[in-house]
Amino acid sequence: MKILILGSGGREYSVGLAIANEKAGHELFFQPGNGATNNLGTNLNIKDYNELADFAKENNIELTIVGPEAPLVDGVVDIFKAKGLTIFGPSKEAAQLEGSKVYMKNFLAKYNIPTARYLETSSIEEAFRFCETLPTPVVVKADGLCAGKGVIIAQTHDEAKKAIGDMLSGKSFGDAGKKVIVEEFLDGYELSMFAICDGDDFILLQAAQDHKRLEDGDKGPNTGGMGAYAPTPLVDDELYEKVKQRIIRPTLDGMKKEGAPFEGVLFIGIMVVNNEPITLEFNVRFGDPECEILMPLMTSSVSDMFYKAATNDLANINVEFSKEYAVGVVMASENYPYGSSTPAEIIVDEVHHEEIEKYTHISYAGVSLEDDKLYATGGRVLVCIGKGSTIKEARDRAYLRCGQVHFAGKKFRTDIAYQAL
């Protein structure tokens, strides 16, 4: 099958790698891809979605997989489907579960799906009044997409009011902050869960934990994610069942009732409070770097799973997972997440060690190819992934691999998966 993957990060590389590893003769295309995806397939440069759909049509692309949220929120799925193409991802309308926090919170409330107590408003007085009724810390969220920066955990009511004021005046996030959510702070531990959905049915992948802060010990600024591991032993069968029954099932049923059946990856940000899963947020795509560790844990065909999900046929699939653990450590460039860094050549030592060769690999993200040399040109440059029969073994192997990667200014956390060790 010819498969097109949209996106340029480690997430898209890892989906491509998993499909390439099936050795089923699939031919891969990436739009736009990165400096390493051209080892897996062909990088395209077709930015316009209509032109891209025409390319897919003319070249008999049988499946398109969308990585990031932006094209989904922009309606790429609707454009492809209108041309009769098979594409895995939610429609523009369903993508509002991520694109608008107000849409998401109101949806959760309407269908009685557990979430933090909140108020949605564009009135500063109303927001202030509700804020006063909540204990501190208070959580303030901008409605629209803010590249992961639209959530403020305010330690005092004054700080919360300042955040509300800055958002509603358009000062902090422009139009994305014209409506705000003020909500109660939940104290517990956070999980990322991913359900592959076809509108009616779903497959829940193993629960993962992300590490959002830049530095060891969860210090420093928030990032897109500095590392992840799965499955997490913090989740037992009972918790998986609660997530399925109380969150995913009612979400799929509710979206159908809303006339926007959910197809694609439902990424549920969960806070577990007293053993109860509470929905923090939805995203409508894989997490990055969570995808990089979940793909290698799948022992059944990934391309088949995406194809069946995109053709409303998940009822007829048996998905299998490895019994191993995977840990992914993100290597970032010098100035991440504050700003861009000078491109630095990446040297990866040749692997002569059987353990490293067999149980580790690299998923490339912010890299460019120039004169046959690979350069670190993005914020998060690559992810070193280790697998093992214990989390510790997987973690140790991931760090062995990190030791073989060299570029000026590289930085990474040294404590990924600490919560499970």
139 binds, among ligand GLY, ligand AMP, none (CB under 5 to 8 A by kind): ligand AMP
Minimum gap (Å) between residue 363 Cβ and ligand GLY: 13
Angle between helices 10-21 and 302-310 (to 10 degrees): 110
**Site for ligand AMP contains 288 (CB under 6 A):** no
Tokens of residue 280, six digits:
């923090």
185 binds, among ligand AMP, ligand GLY, none (CB under 5 to 8 A by kind): ligand AMP
Cα of 367 vs its chain's centroid, Å: 19
Q: Collapse the DSSP code of 215 into the 3-class scheme (helix H, G, I; strand E, B; otherwise coil) and give the result.
A: strand
Minimum gap (Å) between residue 185 Cβ and ligand AMP: 4
Nearest to ligand GLY by Cβ — which residue? 225
End-to-end CA distance of the chain: 41
Q: Which is nearer to ligand GLY, 283 or 333 (CB)?
A: 283
Alpha carbon distance 28, 11 (integer Å): 15
Minimum gap (Å) between residue 17 Cβ and ligand AMP: 27
Site map 166..195 versus ligand AMP, x via CB under 6 A:
-----------------x-xx---x-----
Which of 5, 280, 329, 346 touches ligand AMP (CB under 6 A)? 280
281 binds, among ligand AMP, ligand GLY, none (CB under 5 to 8 A by kind): ligand AMP
Number of residues that bind ligand GLY (CB under 6 A): 7
Q: Collapse the DSSP code of 375 into the 3-class scheme (helix H, G, I; strand E, B; otherwise coil) and give the result.
A: strand
Question: Parallel, antiparallel, or unpaired: how do β-strands 27-32 and 42-43 relate?
Answer: parallel
Cα of 53 vs its chain's centroid, Å: 24
Alpha carbon distance 198, 82 (integer Å): 18
Alpha carbon distance 335, 218 (integer Å): 18
**Site for ligand GLY contains 378 (CB under 6 A):** no
All residues at 6 or more sequence positions from 236 whose CB lies less than 8 Å from its CB, including other chains: none
124 binds, among ligand AMP, ligand GLY, none (CB under 5 to 8 A by kind): none
Instruction: Work out the number of other CB atoms within 10 angstroms of the CB of residue 222.
Output: 14
Alpha carbon distance 106, 111 (integer Å): 9
**Site for ligand AMP contains 120 (CB under 6 A):** no
**Site for ligand AMP contains 114 (CB under 6 A):** no
Binding site for ligand AMP (CB under 6 A): 116, 139, 151, 153, 183, 185-186, 190, 269, 271, 280-281
Binding site for ligand GLY (CB under 6 A): 210, 224-225, 283, 287-288, 290
